[in-house]
Structure 1
Amino acid sequence: MKVLADVTPLRTSPAFRNLWLGGAISAVGGQFNSFAAMYAVWHLTGSSLMVGLLGLASGIPMVAIALAGSMFIDSVDRAALARRATIGMLCCSLLMAWAVLEHWVTVLILFTAVAAALSSLAGPARRALTPTVVGSKELAAAYALTSLAFQLSMLIGPGLAALVATRFSLPVCFLLDAASFLAALAGLRGLHRPPEAATADRGVGAAVAGFRFAATQPVVRGALLCDLAATLLAMPFALFPALNHDNFDGTAQTLAWLTTAVAVGGVTGSVCSGVITHRAHPGLVMVVCSMSWGVALIVAGASHLLVVTLAMLAIAGAADTWAVTSRTTLVQSATPDRFRGRLSALEQLVGIGGPNLGNFRAGAVGNVIGAGPAMSLGGVTCVAAVAGIIATGRQLRGYQLPASAADNVSAGT
């Protein structure tokens, strides 16, 4: 049985290699931005609710723009759309640095919202490009490598951001994020990828058709609902500052360790992604990993020992990585190219909007009952919700990936 990550897409597809490298560098910059925004809001307000508001500020525009993007994303050049949105996010990072210099929390949250809106266009566009630059047999490996890049960014990003914030200042973190978007733009250079199955669908009708496809395909519907159960109900990151303050020493370095622990597990899961990318039933893998995520958070929230909390967060990170890789592989393989942009937008809504709204929920609950109990409660509700989904969705558990390359995925370079 293969265990280590399959790097074949990086060797065989120069277009994917460039896209992956640019995204990997930008992902590190994104961690600088997330850490600096969270730490700045906590430092300036001392409120878990305000930290959670960052998630709400990201979630609302992300939902709105993802819905708007689904009206046209399958009828435009996805690479050009990604480039324009990336330029906009670069500008937002510069403006966020200025807001922190002036101690303007409201302005910082505002530009967090604008950047989230732009990412809800860039993310689906980039994700829908992947099946057009790798072969269908390499699709799961390509998404696993994308997950590895993100997890590596979570591993090294918060620690480096804490170092930069301590040695220099929080605005420098935002400036480094802005610089990282240049790498993302370089990775998109030369790509001009309209949908392989060109469609003239635009407007509300196109968005409705995409949602109808997701709602009427039990496998896709179940995968997205399972992801929402894990994120909307149990996302813990907004609780980290208060958990650090209540249970540990409250320093920026310990806060970085909490986030980094999730990344350590995620990187380990990504490096060992061969365990899941060669399995024919991604739905079953996703279900098991989603429930494991919830159980780990139950224990992490109940523990007052840093080493136990870090260990449980690492397990949660590994489970989340495998669940996300399985979800993306399942959704993309079960979706025709003419719908792939819209389904990628819906994945963006669920995969990023869900965690941001989940962080707001966590911050609000933590403000009432405390960070540790709120984290454990989230884990309990996650496990219960996933159990309910699989009890009524046998097709999700039994879905099998196509055995051959003839599955509507283009291998164009």
Structure 2
Amino acid sequence: MGQAVSQLGVGVTVVAVGQQVFEITRSSFWVGLLGMANLIPLIVFGLWGGAIADAVDRRKLLIIGSVIAWAATLFILVQALFGLGNVYLIFAAVAVNSTGAAITGPTRGAIIPRIMRPELVPAANALNSLVYSIGAVTGPMIGAVLMAVSGFAGAYAVDALLFTASLYAALRLPSLPPLGEVTRPGARAVAEGLSFILSHPVLLMSFVVDIIAMVFAMPRALFPQLTHERFGDSLIALGWMNSSMAIGSVVGALFSGWVGRVSRQGVGLVVVIAIWGLSVAAAGLAHDLWLLVAFMALGGVADVFSSVWRQSILQLYAPDEMRGRLQGAFMVVVAGGPRLGELRAGAMATTLGLGGAWVGGGIACAVTVIVVGLSVSGFRNYRARSLQP
């Protein structure tokens, strides 16, 4: 419940930050660079935070990371209240917020299999995706209205207020001390986690196909430019675009009961990621807002199925003392991939134009994931029932 409330605020800030940077710079490339401000802390603190999550009480670590993220939200609110309009201050706030998210993300992922029976983990992950998706649907729509009524400061103030629900939820968790052998956090612990992934092809390929999906096909950095060129700078259109994929994710999560019964999850991942890429390409060709939203929503359905399979594989494959580190690596890929995708989209838009960056990326995603995903026999033939909790 805490996450459900706080994710509304996160969705508000996501659309507001991108729009504020675009209004300051009038450049999709600068909007894409927001991804790098997110990515570097995610890589550093995601891996390190995962190692810490395997060595300390996960409740305490979740609280610390939440406070850091909250402080960043307050910082970006202050710069908006004073009307500073400094893109570098915004980037700094985004980087600090990303640091908090990099700590809390792996910790939350490692907590789920700790408090749920193994057979319920896929359902728990679907519910978790539903919570995030509802926020991603509703948050941008609320953000668009708030920006129109009270400007960027009003949008950021709502995020700061709603985030307290997540902090309260972390405080209400029971103590979750580490189980099994404890490895001291540091470079060696991180290396052990990465080595575990590299030595298991199924795990490695689950990361690779997600990177393909996000780097090649994520079009979010292009939303402000598309709004400007096709929809007359309509903030409502911008809100719908930012919510579109999450609308599909909500629908997919609500009807995801069958996902846990699929055994050929390697092939399943290739299929749904190819559908995601083609849906993005089709959305880029649409000139009607409703059609664009519909295609992006279809991509969101495919994406949530992919997320449930990848997360469940990762959580059940490793022993508890390794889960934090694997979740840290998962966080780097899941959160870092879209940021690289935003940078890719922004850079391509400056050279190939909006259509080439959007449509070309979606098609490249579908082709690449089929070629790469089906070329690894272990991943292609992987069956979920071979996993051990």
- TM-score bin (small chain): over 0.9
Unaligned runs of 5+ in 2: none
- 2:8 is aligned to 28
Alpha-carbon distance in structure 2 between the residues aligned to 1:61 and 1:83: 18
Contact 1:362 1:374 in 2 (8 A): yes
Contact 1:76 1:194 in 2 (8 A): yes
Q: 1:340 aligns with which of 318, 323, 326?
A: 323
Q: Give matches, 1:258-407, under 5 Å.
A: 258-402=241-385, 407=388
- 1:74 is aligned to 54
Alpha-carbon distance in structure 1 between the residues aligned to 2:345 and 2:135: 23
Alpha-carbon distance in structure 2 between the residues aligned to 1:398 and 1:146: 28
Offset at 1:294?
A: 0.6
> Aligned-pair RMSD on alpha carbons?
1.6
Offset at 1:369?
A: 1.7
Offset at 1:22?
A: 1.2
Alpha-carbon distance in structure 1 between the residues aligned to 2:343 and 2:190: 27
Offset at 1:153?
A: 0.8
Q: Counterpart amino acid of 2:166?
A: A
Offset at 1:267?
A: 1.0
Identity %: 30
Q: 1:55 aligns with which of 7, 11, 35?
A: 35
Offset at 1:335?
A: 1.7
Q: Counterpart amino acid of 2:18?
A: M
Alpha-carbon distance in structure 1 between the residues aligned to 2:382 and 2:169: 33
- Equivalent position SS for 1:266: helix
Contact 2:276 2:299 in 1 (8 A): yes
Residue 146 of structure 2 is aligned to residue 164 of structure 1: yes
Q: Counterpart amino acid of 1:369?
A: L
| TM-score (ref. length: structure 2) | 0.95
Offset at 1:214?
A: 0.3
Offset at 1:40?
A: 0.8
- 1:233 is aligned to 216
- Equivalent position SS for 2:384: coil
Residue 90 of structure 2 is aligned to residue 108 of structure 1: yes
Q: Counterpart amino acid of 2:230?
A: N
Contact 1:147 1:321 in 2 (8 A): yes
Q: Counterpart amino acid of 1:43?
A: E
- 1:95 is aligned to 75
Alpha-carbon distance in structure 2 between the residues aligned to 1:145 and 1:94: 29
Contact 1:219 1:399 in 2 (8 A): yes
Contact 1:283 1:330 in 2 (8 A): no
Contact 2:183 2:189 in 1 (8 A): no
- Equivalent position SS for 1:232: helix
Contact 1:90 1:179 in 2 (8 A): no
Offset at 1:261?
A: 1.7
Superposed CA deviations along residues 217-258 of structure 1, whole A, max 9, x for unmatched, are 011001000000001221110011111222223211111111
- 1:210 is aligned to 193
Contact 1:243 1:372 in 2 (8 A): no
Q: Counterpart amino acid of 2:192?
A: A
- 1:10 is aligned to none
- Equivalent position SS for 2:179: coil
Residue 115 of structure 2 is aligned to residue 138 of structure 1: no
Alpha-carbon distance in structure 1 between the residues aligned to 2:321 and 2:375: 29
Unaligned runs of 5+ in 1: 1-20, 409-413
Q: Counterpart amino acid of 2:138?
A: I
- Equivalent position SS for 2:336: helix
Offset at 1:109?
A: 1.0
Offset at 1:403?
A: 7.9
Contact 1:266 1:320 in 2 (8 A): yes
| TM-score (ref. length: structure 1) | 0.90
Q: Counterpart amino acid of 1:55?
A: G
Contact 1:276 1:285 in 2 (8 A): no
Contact 1:69 1:345 in 2 (8 A): yes
State the number of aligned residues: 386
Superposed CA deviations along residues 371-402 of structure 1, whole A, max 9, x for unmatched, are 22201111122122212322322322333334
Alpha-carbon distance in structure 2 between the residues aligned to 1:281 and 1:184: 35
Moved more, 348-357 or 390-399: 390-399
Offset at 1:45?
A: 1.6
Contact 2:68 2:99 in 1 (8 A): no
- 1:17 is aligned to none
Contact 1:74 1:198 in 2 (8 A): no
Contact 2:67 2:100 in 1 (8 A): no
Alpha-carbon distance in structure 2 between the residues aligned to 1:86 and 1:316: 30
Contact 2:11 2:137 in 1 (8 A): no
Offset at 1:296?
A: 0.8
Alpha-carbon distance in structure 1 between the residues aligned to 2:4 and 2:267: 28
Q: 1:187 aligns with which of 152, 163, 169?
A: 169
Residue 27 of structure 2 is aligned to residue 38 of structure 1: no
Structure richer in helix, relative to its length = 2
Superposed CA deviations along residues 135-177 of structure 1, whole A, max 9, x for unmatched, are 1111000000000011111111111111111122211221221
Contact 2:374 2:380 in 1 (8 A): no
Residue 107 of structure 2 is aligned to residue 128 of structure 1: no
Q: 2:233 aligns with which of 221, 231, 250?
A: 250
Moved more, 190-199 or 359-368: 190-199
Alpha-carbon distance in structure 2 between the residues aligned to 1:129 and 1:141: 15
Q: Counterpart amino acid of 1:29?
A: G
